[in-house]
Amino acid sequence: MIDQPFDAAFEQHIQEIAGQMTYPPTPDLAATLARPVGALRPALSARRWALAALGLLVVIAALMAVPPVRAAVLEFIRIGAVRILVGEPTVTPVPTSMPLPPRSGVAPIPQLPVTATSAGPQTTGDLADLSRLYGETTLEAARAVFHHPIKLPTYPPDLGRPDRVYRQNYDQGLIILVWLQPGDPRQVRMSLHIITDDTIIYKFEPKIIQSTTVNGEKAVWLEGPYPLMVTGPSANDMVISRLMVGKSLVWAEASTGLTYRLESDLTLDEAIKVAESIK
Amino acid sequence: MSEPDLIRSARAGDAAAWEQLIISHQEAVFRLAYLMLGDPAEAQDAAQEAFIRAARALPRFDESRPLRPWLLKIVSNQARNHRRAAGRYVAAVRRALLAEPEKVIHPAAEQAARSDAHDLWAAVRRLESKDQEIVYLRYFLELPVTETASALGVPEGTVKSRLSRALARLRDVITRDFPALREDVPA
C-alpha cells in the first residue's frame, strides 16, 4: 500500500475531538484486585472459574427456557459456508415445493408456508446498520486481494455497481456488497455476501425456510428477522449483521466453493433472477 | 515512590504497591476496553482480567519500561478475546431473541443528540480493527508515539505510517458519512 501524505491539520482536528470523548465512570478495580500479587492468582482464578461456570449454567438455562432457542438447537442444516439452526415449526407445515433430499447427517429443510405476518411489508436495512460493519473498501481494492473473482449481478438492469463494499475476515474472505435505494440513499436496497469456505455464517431460527435452486444448485430461501453472526478462524472481530431484517437467498457455487447470501426485500422469484444474473 | 519501585514492591508481595499501580492505570485500561467493546460491563470484565494477567506476568516484566503500554497491550488482547468469546456470542444471540426489534434511529436525529466525540467514535468503529486500535491509543487515550509503539509491539516508524494510513481512511469515512466532523466545518 502506498503511504498517504501525513495531514497534520487533520490529525490535530481528530485529536481535539477525541479528547472530548466522555466515558462511563471507571470502576474501582483496585478495590477488587488489590492484594499481594502472588496471592492474587489462585484466589481470583478459582473465583472467576466458579463465576464463569455459574454464569454459563445460567445462560444455558435461560437460553433453553426460550422456546425458539430450545428449538433451534434441535436441527442444523448447511448450505456452503452457512450453517442454519432450524427450530421446530410454529405453524403447521404445508409443503410448498419439493424438499431437498436429506444429506447424511443433515436434517431435511422444513417447508413452511409464507404466513400473513411474513408476507407484510418488509423492514429494509437502515444506513445506520452499516455503521456496525468494519472493513469498508472499494470494489477495485477488494478485487485485488480476494482470491476469487467478485462477480456482480446484472439484474435488475438499473442495479449498477454496489454503493458500498466491505472486506472482512482478512485472512479469509468475506466480501459484502451493498446497494442503496436510488430514491432514498439512507436505505439499503440489497446486500450480497460472498463467503469463502473458511468463513462461517450462522443464522438462527428464521421464520420461513424454503428449499429452491440457483443455476441448478441447491439453495435456501429464508425469511427473518434473525440475529446473524459472521466469524472466521483468524478474524479479529465477530460481526452481528442485520442489514436486512427480511428475506435472504443462500446458495453455494460448486465450481468456486463460494457461498452467496443475497438479502433484499425481493420476492423469491426475483431474488433467484438476481442470483442467476451474477456473472 | 517511583513506578519501578512500586513494581519491585508489588513483586515482593506488597499489596499496597500493587493497588497504587492499579489506581494509576485503571482509567486508561478501562477506557481502552470500553472503546473496543462499547459496553461498560464487558469493558470492566476485560480490564479486570487484564490486571489479573498482568499480576501473573509481573515477575517477568522489565521495570525499566513504562507499565502503561504493557497493560494496554494486555487489555487490548483481552478485549479482542471478549469480542470472540463464545459467551459474548451466546449473550448477543440471547439478547437478540429476547429483545424487541432494535430501534432504528435516524442518523440525522441521532447525530443531533450525540457529541462530536461520539460521532468520531462511530466513524472510527468503521475502520479495521488495527486502525481502530492505533487511533484509540494515540488520539483518544493520547499516548505519545513511543508508548503507542510499545503498546502495539511495533517500531515508532511503523506507528507513524499506520497512523497516516488510518487517518486517510478515517478522513474518507468522515467526508462521506460524518460531514459535520470535517475540519473545515466551524464547530
B65: in domain: yes
Contact B22 A231 (CB under 8 A): no
B10 and B70 co-located in one domain: yes
Looking at the structure, tell me whether residues B64 and B123 fall in a common domain. Answer: no
Q: Which DSSP state fits B162?
A: H
Whether ipTM > 0.95 holds is no
**Mean pLDDT throughout A236-246?**
49
Distance of residue B50 Cα from the nearest chain A Cα, in angstroms: 11
Q: Is B165's Cβ below 8 Å from some Cβ in A?
A: yes
How many other C-beta atoms can be found within 10 angstroms of the C-beta atom of residue B144? 14
- Using the beta-carbon criterion (under 8 Å), do A14 and B120 form an inter-chain contact? yes
Establish if B125 touches chain A: CB-CB under 8 angstroms: yes
Ranges A34-48, A220-234, B100-114, B142-156: which has the least confidence = B100-114
**Residue B167 and residue B124 share a domain:** yes
Q: What is the pLDDT of residue B28?
A: 96
Mutate to test the interface with A, among B39, B82, B97 (most CBs of A within 10 A): B97
Instruction: State whether residue B115 is helix, strand or coil.
Output: coil
Give yes or no: residues B48 and B77 share one domain. yes
Q: Which residues on adjacent β-strands are paired with residue A208?
A: A223
Q: Please, are residues A195 and A255 in contact by the beta-carbon 8 Å criterion?
A: no
- CB proximity B155 to A under 8 Å: no
Q: Does some domain include residue B175?
A: yes
- Name chain A contacts of B29, Cβ cutoff 8 Å: 29
Query: Looking at residue B138, which CATH number applies to its domain?
Result: 1.10.10.10
- Residue A99 has what pLDDT? 32
Q: How far apart are the first and last CA of chain A?
A: 29
Q: Residue B44: which H helix or E strand, with range? A: helix B40-57
Nearest C-alpha neighbor of A212 from the set A278, A254, A154, A272: A272
- Distance (Å, rounded) from C-alpha B90 to C-alpha B86? 6
The residue of chain B nearest to residue A167, with distances taken between CA atoms, is: B128
Q: Do the domain assignments include residue B48?
A: yes
Q: List the single residue in B58, B96, B116 with the smallest CB-CB distance to A17.
A: B116
The pLDDT tens digits along chain B (187 residues) read 889 999 999 888 888 898 899 999 999 999 999 999 887 877 888 898 899 889 888 888 998 899 999 999 999 998 887 776 544 544 444 444 444 333 333 344 444 445 788 889 989 988 888 899 999 999 999 999 999 999 999 999 999 999 999 999 999 989 888 888 887 665 4
Contact criterion met (CB < 8 Å) for B129 and A231: no
Check whether residue B16 and residue B66 sit in a common domain.
Answer: yes
Which carries the bigger pLDDT value, residue B182 or residue A225?
Answer: B182
Does residue B113 share a domain with residue B69? no
- Report in angstroms the alpha-carbon separations of B170 from A15, B68, B123, B163, B174: 13, 26, 7, 10, 6
Report the gap between the CA of A9 and the closest CA in chain B (Å): 8
- On whether both B126 and B48 belong to a single domain, the answer is no
- List chain A residues with CB under 8 Å of B159: none
CB contacts of A127 in chain B (<8 Å) are: 107
More confident position, A222 or A74: A222
**Mean pLDDT, rounded, for A126-146:** 73
Q: Return the number of other C-beta atoms located less than 10 Å from residue A214's C-beta.
A: 22
The C-alpha cell at A185 is 440513499
The single residue listed with the C-alpha cell 436495512 is A125
A185 touching chain B per CB within 8 A: no
Q: Is A23 on the interface with B (CB under 8 A)?
A: yes
**How many Cβ pairs closer than 8 A exist between chain A and B?**
202
Spatial distance between the Cα atoms of B162 and B157, rounded to a whole number of angstroms: 9
Q: Band of the pLDDT at A144, cuts 50, 70, 90?
A: confident
Q: Give the type of residue at A35.
A: R
**Residues B11, B64 within the same domain:** yes
Chain A: nearest CA to B186, how far in angstroms? 11
* Average pLDDT over every residue of A104-121: 28
R_g over Cα of chain B? 19
Find the farthest-apart pair of alpha carbons in chain A and give their distance in angstroms, rounded: 70
Residue with the larger pLDDT of the pair A91 and B39: B39
**Residue A229: pLDDT band with limits 50, 70, 90:** low
For B90, nearest residue in chain A (alpha carbons):
A59
Average pLDDT value for residue range A5-10: 77
Rounded percentage of chain A residues whose pLDDT exceeds 90: 13
pLDDT at A103 over 50: no
Q: What is the pLDDT of residue B75?
A: 94
Count of structural domains within chain B = 2
Pick from B42, B7, B3, B48: which is nearest to B29 by CA? Answer: B48
How many Å lie between the alpha carbon of B15 and the closest alpha carbon of chain A?
4
User: For residues A166 and A141, what is the distance between their CA atoms, to the nearest angstrom?
Assistant: 10
Same domain flag for B120 and B168: yes
What does the domain layout of chain A look like in residue ranges?
29-65, 74-276
Q: Give yes or no for A15 touching B (CB within 8 A).
A: yes
Specify the pLDDT at position B163.
Answer: 94
Lowest mean pLDDT across A8-17, A182-191, B24-33: A182-191
Mutate which: B18, B31, B36, B161, vs A, most A CBs within 10 A: B18
Any domain includes B133: yes
Q: How close B70 comes to chain A (CA, Å)?
A: 17
More confident residue, A159 or A224: A159
Q: Say what the alpha-carbon torsion angle B24, B26, B31, B36 is, to the nearest 10 degrees.
A: 130
* Amino acid B165: pLDDT: 93
The set of residues, in sequence order, having a beta carbon less than 8 Å from that of B136 and lying 6+ positions away, is: B32, B35, B36, B124
CB contact under 8 A, B88 and A238: yes
Asked if pLDDT for residue A10 goes beyond 50, the answer is yes
**Option in B58, B125, B171 nearest A37 (CB):** B58
Range of the domain at B34: 3-89
Residue B35 falls inside a structural domain: yes
- Residue A266's contacts (CB-CB under 8 Å, 6 or more residues apart) are A190, A247, A274
Q: Which of B35, B64, B89 lies at the terminal end of a domain, its last residue?
A: B89
In a domain, B186, yes or no: no
Identify whether residues B117 and B80 lie together within a single domain.
Answer: no
The verdict on residue B161 lying in a domain is yes
Contacts with B88 from chain A: Cβ below 8 Å: 238
Say whether A136 and B126 touch across the interface (CB within 8 A). Answer: yes
Does B52 contact A40 at a Cβ distance shorter than 8 Å? Answer: yes
What is the pLDDT at residue B31? 95
* Same domain, yes or no: B42 and B75: yes
Distances (CA, A) of A79 to A22, A228, A249, A250, A272: 44, 15, 11, 7, 16
Q: What is the 3-state secondary structure (H, E, C) of chain A?
A: CCCCCCCHHHHHHHHHHHCCCCCCCCCCHHHHHCCCHHHHHHHHHHHHHHHHHHHHHHHHHHHHHCHHHHHHCCEEEEECCEEEEECCCCCCCCCCCCCCCCCCCCCCCCCCCCCHHHHCCCECEEHHHHCCCCCEECHHHHHHHCCCCCCCCCCCCCCCCCCEEEEECCCCCEEEEEEECCCCCCEEEEEEEEECCCCEEEEECCCEEEEEEECCEEEEEEECCCCEEEECCCCCCCEECCCCECEEEEEEECCCCEEEEEEECCCHHHHHHHHHCCC
| C-alpha span between A203 and A228 (Å, rounded) | 5
Final residue belonging to a domain, choices B89, B120, B141: B89
* CA–CA gap between residue A274 and residue A270 (Å, rounded): 6
- Interface touch A11/B167, C-beta < 8 Å: yes
Mean pLDDT computed over every residue of chain A: 66
Question: How far is residue B158's CA from residue A167's CA, in Å, rounded to a whole number?
Answer: 23
Of the candidates B89, B122, B143, which is a domain's last residue?
B89
The model's pLDDT over A51-78, given as tens digits with 9 standing for 90+, comes to 444 444 444 444 444 444 433 333 456 6
Residue type, B81: N
